[in-house]
Structure 1
């Protein structure tokens, strides 16, 4: 690669926006692709497209038609389908692919974590851990908790769809969240247990710090096996992603 390159960022995360901003500043042609699941997403710098590609075949066709030099998969750690499609499409077209995936959270002294394989498993763990649940796993998959006779504070960016737990309150909000605010929120609602996905990153980690300080148990949903793509080059920071692109432009293997 020499001169300005066309880069497709599969995004929607804070890291994707940060990467797009950095690359646009460097004069690259950046197209960020958003899934379209959030009604009013934070838009990154550069060109933006919203919606799916039509499977791996559609993505491969889009890469060829738009003369894409490289793809950076900076999607959410729990996004499985688009990541798998990217692996297939880039392999078919010979397009370099990089996975930018922030590390998961690690348990700290004072934490009481209960690991769950999925949301259904998380729901089965809740009885006995607390009657008032702070549910922060997003608006998808909430049906897993609908049959529980517990009270839920459900926080998500957009209004969730039924079925929902019978006793609940919905809080529409978007991170980042400060630790003091998270602690105050939990105390105000009498939260006894927190449920979260292992999303990683600093934007939503404050709830873990607040739960630790309050001595609350946390049910943490593991990242699914489909999110791990060992066959793909992978980095954990925006700086490393920029370095990977720089190495490719210089002709170095990466």
Structure 2
């Protein structure tokens, strides 16, 4: 009988992990996607789309599907799913790993202003006199910026917001990373951007905007990551596979 592994997807590394594990004859790989984007890229292996129904729903799923291990590879800002996974795995004694790429850190020359929530980001925008802002926060995080009528926003998203919040002045740019440095330099210059608002997602796909901002002396309002449960963590797919093999050995020995 194959050993069932649940991957809670959301980051690029989740697809690589699914492909790596699905190639193994001893594993059944189940991927879970939140379903927040239309026509999502499907990973290798079984895929389910949509929520579990909170902690109780996830706990029931783990038991019904005889899941032997869970790897949480959700987006760094999908904190609710992270806490639900922690509670569900604790309730079922299923090993849980957090696969998360390291966050970005400021280097000399960066003009970063860290914030812990969007209300603080809005207050920082008001206080700093921003006029032309690249808003790279995702289509579901736009509402807090309504009312900043003296700011023009360049909103970059993968899919259109539905509904579109009533911002007074904006341009919607539909685009999916990765973004190279030359295109980011051109974007910031052509649109006369003076401020970037973004999440500390980490990774290489969207880091070029931070390099371009550093070069131009553009300030970055950086939403830091929310708190996550204290649990084993891996920064790479290779480390996650190593943890999984060790967890399965312990489970079989016990």
Distance 2:211 2:20 in 1: 30
Q: How do 1:222-233 and structure 2 match up within 5 A?
A: 222-225=224-227, 228-230=228-230, 232-233=231-232
Q: Which ranges in structure 2 are unaligned for 5 or more consecutive residues?
A: none
Residue 222 of structure 1 and its aligned partner are, at CA, apart by: 1.1
Q: Name whichever of 106-115 and 153-162 sits farther off.
A: 153-162
Look up the match of 2:115: 116
Q: Which runs of 5+ in 1 are unaligned?
A: none
Q: Match of 2:178?
A: 176
- Give the ranges of 4+ consecutive aligned residues of structure 1 lying more than 3 Å apart after TM superposition: none
Preserved CA contact (<8 Å) 1:129 1:193: no
Give the whole-Å Cα distance in 2 for the aligned partners of 1:121 and 1:146.
14
Match of 2:157 in 1: 156
Deviation at 1:32, TM superposition (A): 0.7
Match of 2:8 in 1: 10
| Residue aligning to 1:137 | 137
Offset of 1:71 from its aligned partner? 0.5
Corresponding residue SS for 2:14: helix
Indicate how the Cα distance of structure 1 residues 129 and 205 shifts in structure 2: closer, same or farther if over 3 A, else same: farther
Contact 1:129 1:217 in 2 (8 A): no
Deviation at 1:129, TM superposition (A): 4.5
Alpha carbons of structure 1 residues 164 and 105: separation in structure 2 relative to 1, 3 Å: farther
Alpha-carbon contact 1:101-1:235 (below 8 Å) kept: yes
Aligned residue pair count = 248
Mapped to 1, the partners of 2:99 and 2:129 lie a distance apart of 35
SS at match of 2:5: strand
Secondary structure (helix, strand or coil) at the match of 1:41 reads coil
Secondary structure of 1:99's aligned partner: strand
Q: Which shows bigger deviation, 211-220 or 154-163?
A: 154-163
Counterpart position of 2:240: 241
3-state DSSP of counterpart to 1:23: helix
CA distance in 2, matches of 1:202, 1:208: 11
Deviations 1:7-56 (A, max 9, x none): 10001210111111111123321111000101122221111110011111
Q: Give CA-to-partner distance per residue, 1:169-189, whole Å, 9 cap, x none.
A: 011111111111111111121
Contact 2:95 2:247 (C-alpha < 8 Å) held by counterparts:
no
For 1:29 and 1:185, the matched residues in 2 are separated by: 44
Q: Which residue of 1 aligns with 2:190?
A: 188
Q: 2-side partners of 1:244 and 1:135: how far apart?
A: 37
Q: TM-score, normalised by structure 2?
A: 0.93
Residues 162-206 of structure 1 show CA distances to partners (whole Å, capped at 9, x for unaligned) of 324210001111111111111111112111111111111111111
